[in-house]
Amino acid sequence: MSEHFSVDRELFNEVMVPNYAPSAVIPVRGKGSRVWDQQDNEYIDFAGGIAVSALGHCHPALVGALKEQGEKIWHLSNVLTNEPALRLAKKLVDNTFAEKVYFCNSGAEANEAALKLARRWALEVHGEEKSQIIAFKQGFHGRTFFTVTVGGQAAYSDGFGPKPGNIDHAEYNNLDSLKALISDKTCAVMIEPLQGEGGIVAPTDEFIKGVRELCNQHNALLIFDEVQTGLGRLGSLYAYMDLGVTPDILSSAKGLGGGFPIGAMLTTTDIAQHLKIGTHGSTYGGNPLACAVGEAVLDTVNTPEVLAGVKAKSTLYVDGLNAINAKYNVFSEIRGKGLLIGAVLNENYQGKAKDFLNAAMAEGVMTLVAGASIVRFAPSLVISDDDITEGLVRFERAVAKMVK
């Protein structure tokens, strides 16, 4: 390198667009659920890169798949298909309700494809009157202009000019609010089977089954955004499997690549036929590298041991967090499912989730937030019990400092 400059947090301010405010900690390597920064400080990873690193850092199966495919072929245009994409699609179809798969690079893109497909389906099958999309307040579906408008947090979609139209928002876990909006002009209802960014909110049985029923009554497609809940995160391969509700379209990303960018939209043959040749596409979507890694993730996660392990580890977390709370009384509730857990701050600590995150980082454990008053945990699905225990010890030290 001819030019010498230090790669540090200051450089971020110098060269990066200011839409993020990253930590001063710059991780440089990871192994399993532990990460080391530039100064060689060690952290236990309870964040999983926001539910992405489903198998932790540098998992041998993923490193192996990437290296092996990296020596073969990286990219082909969509004029050609490739073996890893076909293998991954076949395994997704064999293990879900779906019959057809579309690959892209992110959750937002998978949701964008789902929404475009729903609109196209409605137009071709029912006519142009049927175009309304209903989603839910506090929902999150990505940052493209279409998906961010469908998302239920106006703060993310305001300030960019006129928004895509005919999108309405009901209240999560309130069937009456959906009943008030839905009609035969509704083309799709998009929902997270457990709200992630919106606060780790699980649906009631009555609600989620009622949503499916209302879609049936009004001939609307039910789209499940499983970007965060999918790939074993809640203890089943996809969250819909535990809910007794099958969607018409499902989006997957995050954990699917274990850290390598990939997204997928899954649906039935009948619905898929409306994305005819030329109606949608993605240059990188279905690239051999991403699909080879995705296949390794799926093969590793979709086993009875790993999925049952998620439920067991979940109990370890919840019990541990409740024990910390019994001492320090900072949480009003520990909620969530599987390894997507929210510790809800009580009235004495409203708005302080980010402070808890920073305190935890200082003690050597990486966490997340879900809104201003919830500390979120989304670790590796195969994190060792020892790492959970040690991470909770560190987290408890952070809580103790916050209470002081």
Catalytic residue (one of 46, 130, 146, 254)? 254
Residue 29 inside a domain? The answer is yes
Angle formed at CA 216 by CA 212 and CA 219, multiple of 5 degrees: 130
pLDDT reported for residue 2: 54
| Residue 252 scores a pLDDT above 60 | yes
Confidence of residue 1 (pLDDT cuts 50, 70, 90): low
One of 103, 136, 140, 377 is an active-site residue; which one? 140
Per-residue pLDDT, averaged over 306-310, amounts to 98
Within a domain: residue 1? no
Q: Looking at the structure, do residues 279 and 253 belong to the same domain, yes or no?
A: yes
Please report whether residue 127 resides in a domain: yes
Residue 117 lies in a domain: yes
Rounded distance between C-alpha atoms, residue 256 and residue 235, angstroms: 14
**133 and 226 fall within a common domain:** yes
Q: How many CB atoms lie within 10 A of CB 201?
A: 19
Q: Is 297 in the same domain as 393?
A: no
Is the pLDDT confidence value at 241 over 60? yes
Rounded Cα distance, 382 and 54, in Å: 8
List, as one string, the DSSP characters of 41-75: -EEEESSHHHHT-TT-BS-HHHHHHHHHHHTT---
Angle made by CA atoms 26, 27, 32, in degrees to the nearest 5: 165
Q: The pTM is what?
A: 0.97
Do the Cβ atoms of 99 and 155 come closer than 8 Å? no
Asked whether residue 20 carries a pLDDT value surpassing 60, the answer given is yes
Same domain for 221 and 144, yes or no, is: yes
Which amino acid appears at position 169 of this protein?
H
Say whether both 46 and 171 belong to one domain.
no
Q: How far apart are CA 207 and CA 212, in angstroms?
A: 9
Query: Same domain for 97 and 190?
Result: yes
Do 121 and 149 share a domain, yes or no? yes
Hey, which bits of 230-316 come out as E strands?
249-252, 263-267
In a domain, 150, yes or no: yes
Q: Are residues 218 and 276 in the same domain?
A: yes
* Together in a domain, 336 and 292: no
Instruction: Identify whether residues 108 and 213 lie together within a single domain.
Output: yes
Domain boundary among 301, 329, 350: 301
| Domain end among 247, 274, 301 | 301
What number is the average pLDDT over the span 34-52?
Answer: 98
Quick check: is 130 catalytic? no
Task: Please give the Cα distance from 164 to 146 (Å, whole number).
Answer: 6
Asked about 225 being catalytic, the answer comes back as: yes
**136, 146, 225, 377: which one is catalytic?**
225
Average pLDDT over the chain reads: 97
Residue 187 lies in a domain: yes
pLDDT tier, 385 (very low <50, low <70, confident <90, very high otherwise): very high
Domain assignment of residue 65, yes or no: no
Q: Give 292's DSSP letter.
A: H
Cα dihedral 171, 155, 258, 364 sign? negative
Structural domains of the chain, count: 2
Question: CB within 8 A of 393, min separation 6: which ones?
Answer: none
Structure token pair of residue 332 = 């009003």
Catalytic: 140? Answer: yes
Clarify whether residues 85 and 144 are in a common domain.
Answer: yes
Within this chain, do residues 101 and 171 fall inside the same structural domain, yes or no? yes
Among 269, 301, 333, residue at a domain's last position: 301
Per-residue pLDDT tens for 119-169?
999 999 999 999 999 999 999 999 999 999 999 999 999 999 999 999 999
Confidence at residue 4, expressed as pLDDT on a 0 to 100 scale: 78
Q: Which domain holds residue 21?
A: 9-58+304-403
Between β-strands 42-45 and 365-366, what pairing exists: parallel, antiparallel or unpaired?
A: parallel
Q: How far apart are CA 356 and CA 62, in angstroms?
A: 32
In a domain, 255, yes or no: yes
